[in-house]
Amino acid sequence: MGRFKRLQSVADQRPERLALVFGLLTGVLGVVLAAVEFAEGQEIDYQAYYFAGRAVVKGEPFVGWAITDGSFLTEKAYVYTPVTAPVFSVYGALPRWQFGYVLNVVLLMVVFYLIGRLVLTFLDRHGVELERVDRLLILGFSVFSGHSILGIYRGNVDPIVLLALGVGLLAIERGEGWKGGTLWAATAHFKLFPAFLGVWLLYRRAYRAIAAAVVTGLGLIALGVVFFGIDAHIDFVEFIVNERSREGYFAGGLDPEIQWITLRRPLSQFVSLSGNQLFVVTTALVAPFVYRVYRHANSELDRTVAFFATMVAMLITIVPSTLNYVVYLYFPLLGLVYMTEDPTAKRLFIAGLILVNLPLYPQHIDLIVGALPLGVVGDAVTTGARAVLTYTSIPLVGFLCILAGCIRFVQVPNVTERPAE
C-alpha cells in the first residue's frame, strides 16, 4: 500500500482544523438544543427502545404504533424488524426508563469515541501521519460536536450502526468478507437503508460478504418469525410502507420547516408525486453520479470513497434523513478531509462538513433575525431565506458538496496510492 507523508505545516492543515473546531463549537448549540427539548418534554428516541424491550419482557405487541404507554412519545414508534427488539429487553427489564437511559448515554459516548478511533485507524492504515492536535481534534469532534451531543441526548442507535458499518468496511478490505457482510446485514435490521449497500458489494465483487449478508439477513428474519410470528412481520412491512416512508408529507411540496435532508424536498415543489414515487425518481437521478465514482475508482482508497458516495446518495434519496443521520458521515469523511491531496476535493469535503453542521431552517432564521434590530431588512432576510429553504436546506447542500467531493477525488487520484487489484 502506498503511503502519504503528511508532515504538513500548521498553515497547510488550517482548513481541516478549522472545520473540526467549528464542529466542536456546534457542540455548544447541541447542548442548548438538548436542554430546550428536555424542558419542553422528557420524550426521547431512547424511550422507543425501552418500551419495546419492556413489551418483549411482558410478551406484548411492540411493532409500529403498538406501544401505547402513557409516557411514550406519541410521534415515535418501534420501526425496526421484530427480531431486534430482544436486544433492548435488558433496558426493558429495568423498573424505570431513566435507569437505562443513563447507561445508554455512557454507551453512546464510548461508541462515538470508538468511531473517532476507527477514523484514526483508517488514517494510520493509509499511512497518514498526523500531529497530536489533529488526532485529538478528530476524537473531540466525534464525541462532542453538535450532532454527537444530540445523538447522545436522544439516545438513538445511529452511531452504533455507523460503527458496525465502518468496522465491516475495514473487515471487507482486509479480506474478511464474512465478518463485514454479517455486520452489514445485522445493521440493516435496525436501519433498512444499509441493505442497499449491497450495490457497493456487487461493485467490489465481495461475494463472500454478499453470501454472509444474505445468510445473516434471511436467518434473522426466520428467527424473528419463529419468536414473534408472521403477523408481526406483516404489520412491520405495512407500517414501513404506509407510515415510516412519510410519503404523505410531500404532497404539495415538503414544508420548509420540517428538518429533513432529502432530494425529495426540491422535487416535491415541482411535481405531484407521492413520497415513495419521489424516492424512485431521486434514486434514479443520483445513480449516474455514484456510477461515475465507481467507474473512475482505481485504487484501494478509491473503493472506500465509492462506499462513501453510496452512503451519501442513500441518505438523501432512499430515506428522508433526519438530523440524527448526519453522524453517518463521520466515517470516513473525518479521515478524507486530511488525506485528500487535490485542493478542489478537499474544499468540497470541508465545505460539506461545515454545512451539514448548520441545521438552520426557516423557523431558526426567523428566531435569529427577530432577536436583532434589523427592521425592514430583517423582514427581507426572513422572506428570502424561507423562499430559498423551501427548495433546499443548508445540510442538503452540504451532502451534495460531499458527493461532488467523492466524484472529484476519484477523478484526480492521490498519486501515492497504488491501483486497486
The helix (run of H) or strand (run of E) holding residue 125 is helix 97-125
Measuring CA to CA, which residue among 7, 27, 115 is closest to residue 338? 7
59 within a domain of the structure (yes/no): no
Omega of the bond leading into 332 within 30 degrees of 0 (cis) = yes
Sign of the CA dihedral with 317 first, then 321, 326, and 331 last = negative
Query: Are 298 and 409 within one domain?
Result: yes
pLDDT along the chain (421 residues), means of 10: 43 82 92 82 82 88 73 66 94 90 96 98 92 96 96 94 97 95 96 93 96 97 94 88 80 92 95 88 96 94 96 93 94 95 95 95 89 84 93 97 97 59 45
Query: Are 257 and 152 within one domain?
Result: no
Q: Judge whether 165 and 183 are in contact, CB under 8 Å.
A: yes
Query: Are 125 and 13 within one domain?
Result: yes
pLDDT of the residue at 42: 67
Query: Are 265 and 382 within one domain?
Result: yes
Q: Judge whether 93 and 243 are in contact, CB under 8 Å.
A: no
Per the structure, the count of domains in the chain is 2
Of 126, 156, 186, the last residue of a domain is 156
140 within a domain of the structure (yes/no): yes
pLDDT of the residue at 283: 95
Concatenate the DSSP letters of all residues of 212-229 into one string. HHHHHHHHHHHHHHHHHH
Of 109, 138, 156, the last residue of a domain is 156
Q: How far apart are CA 118 and CA 177, in angstroms?
A: 18
289 within a domain of the structure (yes/no): yes
Which residues contact residue 51 at a Cβ distance below 8 angstroms, ignoring those fewer than 6 apart? 62, 67, 69, 72, 78, 92, 97
Quote the domain boundaries for residue 122: 6-41+97-156
Query: Are 306 and 418 within one domain?
Result: yes
- Look up the pTM and report it: 0.92
